[in-house]
């Protein structure tokens, strides 16, 4: 599968579903440079599914990998003080540190590939991932889907779908494998 080169900031974001090319992922001969891959994770088992394939791509391309987790937070307005600044979640630092520890333990899944772990806080997970990738000059974002449908998808939404809408960086989506 050839992924075409694209000019940065172009309104059409190339993306490819891992289902379309089959497993394992083979990007084949392409002019697209892949020096930095951001792997977005919610720390679930499903989110770790792309790790072996991303490691293979990184190894073949000589890329570095960043595993990224976004800790979702909602700022609270102090009761009775509408003009006071919003207060961050009181357990935000604890949640950030727990996520860092989990990410560090997942680095071994990438073998000999250089991996950096990063945890950030954000209100909208998809937008935070897209902004992080842009700011850190990522060439590709990899993310797995959880396979939700129907009411669960309506209520919980899909970070992968929202990421496809917000990202200016190509997104490689790993769908849930059929049994």
pLDDT digits (tens, 9 = 90+) for 145-168: 875 554 444 434 588 888 888 899
Q: Report pLDDT for 143.
A: 92
Instruction: Provide the CB-side half-sphere exposure for 174 (13 A, CA).
Output: 21
Of 138 and 7, more confident: 138
Instruction: Report d(CA 111, CA 122) in Å as an integer.
Output: 29
Q: Is 78 exposed, middle or buried (0-12, 13-18, 19+ CB in 10 A)?
A: exposed
Lateral strand order in the sheet of 140-144: 15-17, 171-174, 140-144, 36-41, 64-72, 115-122
Instruction: Report d(CA 127, CA 133) in Å as an integer.
Output: 10
Structure tokens at 162: 């929202």
Return the percent helix, strand and coil in the chain, to nearest 5.
35, 20, 45
The model carries a pTM of 0.76
Share of the chain above pLDDT 70, in %: 69
The pLDDT tens digits for 42-63 are 998 888 989 999 999 999 889 9
């Amino acid at each position: 599968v050839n992924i075409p080169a694209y000019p940065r900031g172009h309104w059409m974001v190339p993306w490819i579903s891992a289902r379309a090319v089959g497993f394992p992922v083979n990007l084949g001969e392409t002019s697209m440079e892949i020096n930095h891959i951001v792997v977005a994770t919610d720390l679930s088992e499903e989110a770790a599914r792309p790790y072996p394939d991303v490691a293979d791509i990184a190894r073949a391309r000589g890329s570095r990998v960043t595993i990224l987790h976004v800790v979702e937070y909602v700022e609270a307005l102090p009761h009775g003080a509408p003009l006071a600044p919003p207060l961050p979640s009181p357990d935000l630092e604890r949640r950030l540190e727990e996520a860092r520890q989990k990410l560090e333990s997942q680095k071994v899944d990438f073998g000999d590939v250089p991996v950096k772990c990063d945890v950030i806080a954000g209100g909208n997970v998809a937008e935070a991932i897209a902004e992080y990738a842009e700011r850190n000059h990522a060439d590709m974002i990899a993310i797995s889907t959880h396979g939700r449908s129907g009411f669960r998808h309506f209520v919980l939404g899909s970070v992968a779908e929202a990421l496809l809408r917000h990202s200016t960086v190509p997104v490689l989506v790993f769908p849930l494998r059929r049994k």
